[in-house]
Structure 1
């Protein structure tokens, strides 16, 4: 039996985090823009109809599924190497309990989901109002 050291870590980092501690799938950039937060979520190979978003208890939950039917095989039908991830993925972002579903906007183009969420408005401090005495 031959030993192939190149495959040692093949499955060790599957669904793990990278050097910055982030997930290897659904990488997200968040920027503040025009009074909103804009989330840019990478979803290569995912179809728009395979993405679901839900706003619950102040959390924006994003779920996507990706299945690849194509497999790279050698002449004998064995898979040589498979690095593309298949399955369901989930990310959750706290956006605040004052945000409602109709406040969230989303678009999907070329493997990138763009979600716009308004910043939570600061709570107003009630001013002392004096009650007139008649």
Structure 2
């Protein structure tokens, strides 16, 4: 009886990864590599509405703020950038046996509501998280309206 090496790869929405996992189960861990390596990737984003702003947070691990570009055109906010593979000097001749990290360019676009003050948008990058703050216009802020009584 022989044991075959199996590399666990978590379930993915990427159909090519699922196909590679099936092939690895059938043929053993053949050197197919990661089929998504170098392809476009989509960083996860959360959008939270608060009383006075909308907060958009994107997870960009391994990147710096200088690698990210944010633009606003016709009420569409676009976040783009490129995550490059980093290797130490002298490691260029190495061979990967498994690559689960993603590299490459990304581009995400979001249509903003008309109630956003475009001139007040700010962005900060800290510890792999990009936070984009989209302030609401004064007329969009919620407020309590008092009901008066007629005498």
**TM-score band, normalised by shorter chain:** 0.5 to 0.7
Structure number with higher strand proportion: 1
Alignment of 1:75-114 (within 5 A): 77-96=94-113, 99=116, 101-114=118-131
Call closer, same or farther: CA 1:80–1:33 in 2, change over 3 Å.
Answer: same
Q: Post-superposition shift, 1:70?
A: 2.4
Pairing 1:28-107 to 2, within 5 Å after superposition: 28-70=45-87, 77-96=94-113, 99=116, 101-107=118-124
**Normalised by the size of structure 1, how large is the TM-score?**
0.66
- State the Cα distance separating 1:46 from its structure 2 match: 0.8
Q: Which stretch of structure 1 is more off in the superposition, 47-56 or 100-109?
A: 100-109
Give 1:115's aligned residue. 132
Higher helix share: 2
- In structure 1, what is the Cα distance between the partners aligned to 2:105 and 2:68? 10
- Kept in 1, the 8 Å contact 2:37–2:99? The answer is no
Structure 1 ranges of 4+ moved more than 4 A = 5-10, 12-16, 97-101
TM-score normalised to structure 2 length = 0.59
Residue 11 (str. 1) matches residue 28 (str. 2): no
Unmatched 5+ stretches in structure 1: 17-23, 123-134
